[in-house]
C-alpha cells in the first residue's frame, strides 16, 4: 500500500502551509515529519487523515485518489498530541468508540468488540485498566489508550501528531521505543509528526525535514545527520559550527588557514559558508602549522559527553568540540588550555553572488589533508 503525495499546495490567507510538497511513503514504512512550528508537517498529516484538503495537488494510495474518500473510509488511525479522550467514558468505552459508531452493517458484535478491546489493552500493557476513567490515568497511560483507540479499527495507516509532546522526558523515551516495537509487530504504515529531532532520528526509517511549507531533505536518519543537503538541515539537526570561508583556486581558506584537499572543481572563487559537527573537530596540544590555534574557554559536562567551548581568534568566533567525558578528564582539560583545532571534514556551500544565498547545487564536502605532524593527539 504505497502512498503517493504529489505537488501539494495549501494556503491559509497569506500563509503558505504547504508549497509544492511531494513524497512517496512505502508500505510498512515508519516516516517522521520533522520541522519547526509552522513548517507544514501537521497540515500534511491532516490532509492524509482527511481532516483538511489541499488547494492543489494529489494524494493517492495504490493509484486510488484519497482526496475523494471521506476520513472514515480511508482506513486511517489518528493519534493527537493531547490524547482527545472522552473524559466521561471509561478506558474500555474510549477504545471501543470507533467500532461502536460504525454503520450497523459494518459494526462488530458486542462480543467481538469486547474481545478486540481486551486484546488491545493487553497489547498496550493496560490490562486491568478497562473500568478506569482518563482522569485516573497518568499521561503515558492516556497516550497508550489513545493509541489503542486508533488501532481498534484496524487501520492500514497510523498517523501520530506529536503524541509525546505533553509527556515528561523519561516517559517519552519509554513510549517511543514501545511505539517502534508496536509498529514492527503490526507491520503498519506509520507517519509521525514531531519537532523533536531525537525522536525522529531514533524512531523513523526515513525522516522528512520540512521548513516553511517545503521539504528540505528526505533520507534515513544517518543520511539526514551525516549528509545534510541544505544549511537549514545542518542547523536544525544536531549541533554544528558555522564558519565563514573563502574559495580561491579551488581551495578553502578559513581564517589564517588554507585546507589542502582535492580541488573544488566547478566552484568559482568567492565567499562560502562551511559547516562542521563538534565531533568532527580534532584537538591536539601541539602547536602545529595546520589548524586553528584556540583557547579552551569552558567545559560543559553532559553525562558521558564533554562539550568544549573554544575561542578561535583567527576566525573571530567560538567553536564547539565534543569528546567523551572520560577522555576529557584523562586529558586534564581545564579553562585556559591552548590547543590546535583541525576539522576532519567540512561541508561547504558557496555563496551565490547574485542572490547572496548558499548555492545548494554546488555543495561540496572537503576532507583536509594535514600531513604526518597532524596526527599528534593526547595519549
Q: Render pLDDT for 179-206 as a digit per residue (tens, 0 to 9).
A: 888 888 888 899 999 988 999 999 999 9
One domain for residues 220 and 267 = no
For 54, the grid coordinates are 489541499
One domain for residues 143 and 197 = yes
One domain for residues 287 and 360 = yes
Q: How far apart are CA 174 and CA 172, in angstroms?
A: 5
Domain boundary among 211, 231, 251: 231
Among positive and negative, which fits the CA dihedral 257, 263, 268, 274?
A: negative
Smallest CA-to-CA distance from 30 within 234, 214, 177 is with 177
Report the predicted TM-score, pTM, of the whole model to 2 decimal places.
Answer: 0.88
pLDDT tops 90 at residue 321: yes
For 95, the grid coordinates are 477504545
* Band of pLDDT at residue 144, cut at 50, 70 and 90: confident
Q: Which carries the bigger pLDDT value, residue 182 or residue 90?
A: 90
Q: What is the CB neighbour count within 10 angstroms for residue 9?
A: 15
Q: Which carries the bigger pLDDT value, residue 49 or residue 83?
A: 49
pLDDT tops 70 at residue 374: no
Q: How far apart are CA 172 and CA 246, in angstroms?
A: 44
One domain for residues 176 and 76 = yes
Residue pair 263/371 in contact (Cβ under 8 Å)? The answer is no
Q: How far apart are CA 234 and CA 186, in angstroms?
A: 34
- Match 471521506 to its residue by C-alpha cell: 70
Q: What is the DSSP letter of 230?
A: S
Domain membership of residue 336 as a residue range? 239-375
Long-range residue pairs from 89-94, CB within 8 A, at least 24 positions apart, any chain: 89/133, 89/134, 90/130, 90/131, 90/132, 90/133, 91/121, 91/126, 91/129, 91/130, 91/131, 91/132, 91/133, 91/134, 91/137, 91/145, 92/117, 92/121, 92/130, 92/131, 94/134, 94/145, 94/149
One domain for residues 204 and 71 = yes
One domain for residues 324 and 366 = yes
Alpha-helical (H) ranges within the chain are 41-49, 91-100, 110-123, 139-152, 169-186, 197-203, 221-226, 231-236, 325-330
pLDDT tops 60 at residue 377: no
One domain for residues 196 and 300 = no
Domain boundary among 208, 231, 254: 231
Mean pLDDT of 353-373: 86
CATH number assigned to the domain comprising residue 88 = 3.40.50.300
- For position 352, what pLDDT does the model report? 92
- 220 three-class SS: coil
One domain for residues 332 and 190 = no
One domain for residues 306 and 330 = yes
* Band of pLDDT at residue 327, cut at 50, 70 and 90: confident
CATH number assigned to the domain comprising residue 287 = 2.40.50.100
Lowest-pLDDT range of 59-68, 101-110, 160-169, 290-299: 160-169
Domain boundary among 209, 231, 253: 231
Number of structural domains the chain divides into: 2
pLDDT tops 50 at residue 375: no
* Band of pLDDT at residue 379, cut at 50, 70 and 90: very low
For 345, the grid coordinates are 571534514
One domain for residues 193 and 261 = no
Residue pair 130/92 in contact (Cβ under 8 Å)? The answer is yes
One domain for residues 47 and 88 = yes
One domain for residues 114 and 219 = yes
Amino acid at each position: 500500500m504505497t502512498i503517493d503525495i504529489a505537488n501539494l499546495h495549501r494556503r491559509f490567507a497569506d500563509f503558505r502551509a504547504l508549497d509544492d510538497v511531494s513524497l512517496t511513503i512505502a508500505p510498512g514504512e515508519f516516516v517522521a515529519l520533522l520541522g519547526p512550528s509552522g513548517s507544514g508537517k501537521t497540515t500534511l498529516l491532516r490532509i492524509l487523515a482527511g481532516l483538511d484538503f489541499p488547494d492543489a495537488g494529489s494524494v493517492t494510495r495504490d493509484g486510488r485518489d484519497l482526496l475523494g474518500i471521506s476520513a472514515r473510509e480511508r482506513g486511517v488511525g489518528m493519534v493527537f498530541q493531547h490524547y482527545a479522550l472522552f473524559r466521561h467514558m471509561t478506558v474500555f468505552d474510549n477504545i471501543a468508540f470507533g467500532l461502536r459508531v460504525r454503520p450497523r452493517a459494518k459494526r462488530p458484535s458486542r462480543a467481538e468488540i469486547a474481545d478486540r478491546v481486551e486484546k488491545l489493552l493487553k497489547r498496550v500493557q493496560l490490562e486491568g485498566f478497562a473500568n478506569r476513567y482518563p482522569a485516573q490515568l497518568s499521561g503515558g497511560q492516556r497516550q497508550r489508550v489513545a493509541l489503542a483507540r486508533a488501532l481498534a479499527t484496524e487501520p492500514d495507516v497510523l498517523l501520530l501528531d506529536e503524541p509525546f509532546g505533553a509527556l515528561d522526558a523519561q516517559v517519552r523515551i519509554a513510549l517511543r521505543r514501545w511505539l517502534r516495537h508496536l509498529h514492527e509487530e503490526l507491520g503498519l504504515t506509520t507517519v509521525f509528526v514531531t519537532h523533536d529531532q531525537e525522536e525522529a532520528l531514533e524512531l523513523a526509517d526515513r525522516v522528512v525535514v520540512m521548513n516553511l511549507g517545503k521539504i528540505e531533505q528526505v533520507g534515513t536518519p544517518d543520511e539526514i545527520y551525516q549528509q545534510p543537503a541544505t544549511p537549514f538541515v545542518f542547523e536544525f539537526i544536531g549541533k554544528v559550527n558555522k564558519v565563514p570561508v573563502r574559495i580561491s583556486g579551488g581551495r578553502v581558506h578559513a581564517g589564517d588557514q588554507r585546507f589542502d584537499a582535492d580541488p573544488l572543481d566547478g566552484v568559482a572563487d568567492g565567499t562560502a559558508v562551511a559547516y562542521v559537527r563538534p565531533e568532527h573537530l580534532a584537538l591536539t596540544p601541539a602547536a602545529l602549522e595546520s589548524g586553528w590555534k584556540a583557547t579552551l574557554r569552558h567545559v560543559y559536562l553532559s553525562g558521558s559527553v564533554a562539550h568544549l567551548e573554544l575561542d578561535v581568534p583567527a576566525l573571530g568566533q567560538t567553536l564547539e568540540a565534543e569528546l567523551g567525558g572520560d577522555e576529557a578528564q584523562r586529558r586534564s582539560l581545564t579553562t585556559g588550555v591552548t590547543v590546535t583545532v583541525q576539522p576532519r571534514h567540512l561541508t561547504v556551500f558557496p555563496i551565490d553572488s547574485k542572490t547572496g544565498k548558499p548555492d545548494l547545487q554546488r555543495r561540496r564536502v572537503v576532507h583536509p589533508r594535514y600531513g604526518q605532524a597532524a596526527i599528534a593527539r593526547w595519549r
